[in-house]
Structure 1
Amino acid sequence: MYRLFTTALVAASSVSALSLSSGCQSALTQVAGNADANACLSISSLISTVIQSNSSIVTPVDNMLKALCAAAPCTNATLSAIVTNITTGCSTELSSTGSSAPSASTLTTLVQQYYPTVRNIVCLTDSGTNCITQTLTNLQAILGTLSINNIGGVLSKALTTTSVPANVTCTNCNKQAFNVLNQAFPGTLTSESSALQSQCGASFTDGNTPAGIVQSAKTTTTKPSSAPATTMARGALAALTASVLVATSFWAFA
């Protein structure tokens, strides 16, 4: 779980270092202004908040997640429109890693496949506190303020932190996130199980929902499609990274 958040920080750091092209800024602005996209992703609840460069992003992100989880889920048509806008407008940024940019149809398939599960994970709550908010708060306590200006320093510390406290890794939130992903895509986290059991105990991967955990996502009937486990793992990670990329891009020029 810690490695997923470290990967997200890497993505955020990469975006913060980019000078977004006018086409990409325009695409992101169109997404933010699209009524359907804004209704299901609650983008306005994030970009309408004045985020100071040195202030923690935890509270603004928490506000966005609460609004997102209370809203109806995005339809496949809305997700397709979002992906098409971003892949078209941000083609330069998407191909900046040295490899060719993925096609809109490829990304659309992945996003539509993993969106329901990712949404269910980000909408988990523990005794009323959103689980992503809880994890960000725990990480902030050991890595320092998660702010726009401090992302580089936080990233450096994250990459050199070899011992992650149990209160970050072995939380009820992370256990249920493991359950949700493993139930939706069996076998995806097989390689992670032994490491988690070693640090958190055998009960961490027993599949039981911890006390106090509640799903706050408004009901969706969309079901994930089947795919090879290795592909699922890459897709889930890509979905998390993409979320950070888009959110950080909004912070950069909102």
Structure 2
Amino acid sequence: MTRSFAVLSILGVSLAAAQSISDQCRTSLIQAAANSDVSTCLSPGTLLPLVTGSANNSIIDPINNWLGSMCSAPACSNDTISAFVQNVTAGCSTELSALGVTSDDASSIIPTIQAAYPTVRRVACLQDGNTKCVTQTLTNLQNVVGTLSVNNIANIGATLASTDIPSNVTCTDCIKEAYNIINGDFPGVVSGSQSDLQSQCGDSFTDGQNPSGISESANTDAADSSNNGASFMASDLGVSALLAIGSLFAML
């Protein structure tokens, strides 16, 4: 899945350095975000505070609001995902080539992203009671490392890469159920982390049992399978919101 996640990662990287992407890539992202089907199933408009507010503000509230909107919307269709990936791979070829991805890879990338999307969406929409699991995890992490803002999230990421994340962040019921879902759908992806999780969280953490109180909130309705010639419009909100969405998927 390396190439597929590279497509999403370039969007996340661009959020922190949006001015460095090419005009062609920026235009492609604008068009992708403004597509009516993408807008419906990913709700990028709800991430507006991430790009209009202070870059020192916490990202948690905007992401929580976005999750509520995105999870209640019908899932993106395979056609929508395919069109989105084709736009990104064609328009952001320079940026993606630095990650080893070319526009010729689109045909192999698309089926993998289509296959991974339902699992990522299920994990993103997990809830602990009435609290989104992503929100809970980000809040727990913020309590450890300080404000998760656009300005400092890159530095925080670098710090976490060289330190151990506390068990009160990694050993929650939310993380256990996320592990269960990913391990059930793509066991090869997380099998290598099983021993580490058991070491930090106990053997029962990877026993496959569903923790009580955790539920899935993703709308199970399917979107229309075609985009029906949806019109495109240029909008800085569209590209910026889509970049923010890419960042969340990169974190997940």
TM-score band, normalised by the shorter chain? 0.7 to 0.9
Give the distance between the partners of 2:207 and 2:158, measured in 1 at CA.
34
Match of 2:234 in 1: none
CA deviation after TM superposition for structure 1 residue 28, in Å: 1.1
User: Does the alignment pair 1:89 with 2:96?
Assistant: no
Query: Taking structure 2 as the reference length, what is the TM-score of the superposition?
Result: 0.79
SS state at 2:64 partner = helix
In 2 relative to 1, CA 186–248 (structure 1 residues): closer, same or farther, beyond 3 Å? closer
Give the distance between the partners of 2:156 and 2:188, measured in 1 at CA.
32
Give the distance between the partners of 1:167 and 1:210, measured in 2 at CA.
16
Give the distance between the partners of 1:149 and 1:64, measured in 2 at CA.
20
Match of 1:60 in 2: 62
Match of 1:205 in 2: 206
Give the distance between the partners of 2:14 and 2:145, measured in 1 at CA.
18
Match of 2:175 in 1: 174
Letter in 2 for 1:208: Q
Give the distance between the partners of 2:247 and 2:154, measured in 1 at CA.
18
Match of 1:3 in 2: none
Q: Which runs of 4+ in 1 moved over 6 A?
A: 8-11, 248-251
Cα deviations by residue, 1:55-101 (Å, 9 ceiling, x for unpaired): 1111111111111100000000000011111111111111123x342
Superposition map of 1:103-182 within 5 A: 103-161=105-163, 163-182=164-183
Query: Taking structure 1 as the reference length, what is the TM-score of the superposition?
Result: 0.78
- The question of whether the paired residues in 2 share the 8 Å contact of 1:15 and 1:248 is answered with no
Give the distance between the partners of 1:32 and 1:60, measured in 2 at CA.
17
Give the distance between the partners of 2:244 and 2:205, measured in 1 at CA.
30
Match of 1:237 in 2: none
CA deviation after TM superposition for structure 1 residue 186, in Å: 3.2
In 2 relative to 1, CA 27–34 (structure 1 residues): closer, same or farther, beyond 3 Å? same
Greater relative contact order (CA < 8 Å, ≥ 6 in sequence): 2
Gaps of 5+ in 1: 1-7, 223-243
Gaps of 5+ in 2: 1-7, 224-240
Match of 2:24 in 1: 23
Match of 2:46 in 1: 45
Match of 2:5 in 1: none
Give the distance between the partners of 1:250 and 1:172, measured in 2 at CA.
23
Match of 2:244 in 1: 247
- The question of whether the paired residues in 1 share the 8 Å contact of 2:32 and 2:38 is answered with yes
In 2 relative to 1, CA 42–58 (structure 1 residues): closer, same or farther, beyond 3 Å? same
Letter in 2 for 1:247: A
Give the distance between the partners of 1:24 and 1:249, measured in 2 at CA.
14
Superposition map of 1:210-229 within 5 A: 210-219=211-220
**Aligned length in residues:** 221
Question: Once superposed, what is the RMSD of the aligned Cα atoms?
Answer: 2.7
SS state at 2:165 partner = coil
In 2 relative to 1, CA 48–84 (structure 1 residues): closer, same or farther, beyond 3 Å? farther
Letter in 2 for 1:119: R
SS state at 1:188 partner = helix
- The question of whether the paired residues in 1 share the 8 Å contact of 2:44 and 2:245 is answered with no
